């Protein structure tokens, strides 16, 4: 039996941009992606601390070192620049594997830089 478990999380990162007229997704600084073990096109859940909104989308690589976290397309309506969000990814794995799995959690500073 496979279950879904937390794979990785970027905890309390700031939205730097929202682009409504874009194809869709969330653009994330590649440094944050690497630190959180996220890859381009990976499905993520976005939880907005400011307004309680939750949505799912996929990741696009942002400029490395930029601190960029940009909601694109319809997702841009779910947050404003400056909102604090949590970006979560999950993975399916066998129950016994999941019992020993340690998710990758990162806690960026107020400028979305790695601490």
Catalytic site residues?
A: 25, 58
Cα separation, 1 vs 79, in Å, equals: 36
- DSSP character at residue 24: S
| CB environment 25-49: b (16+ within 10 A), e (fewer) | bbbbbbbbbebbbbeeebebebebe
Cα separation, 111 vs 66, in Å, equals: 9
Helices (DSSP H) in the chain: which residue ranges? Answer: 30-35, 95-100
């Amino acid at each position: 039996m496979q279950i879904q478990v937390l794979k990785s999380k970027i905890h309390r990162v700031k939205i730097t941009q929202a682009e409504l007229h874009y194809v869709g997704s969330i653009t994330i600084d590649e440094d944050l992606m690497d630190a959180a073990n996220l890859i381009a096109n990976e499905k993520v859940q976005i939880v907005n601390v400011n307004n309680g909104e939750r949505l799912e989308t996929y990741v696009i690589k942002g400029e490395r070192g930029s601190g960029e976290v940009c909601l694109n397309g319809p997702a841009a309506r779910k947050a404003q620049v400056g909102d604090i969000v949590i970006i979560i990814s999950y993975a399916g794995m066998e129950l016994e594997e999941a019992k020993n799995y340690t998710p990758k959690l990162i806690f960026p500073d107020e400028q979305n830089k790695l601490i």
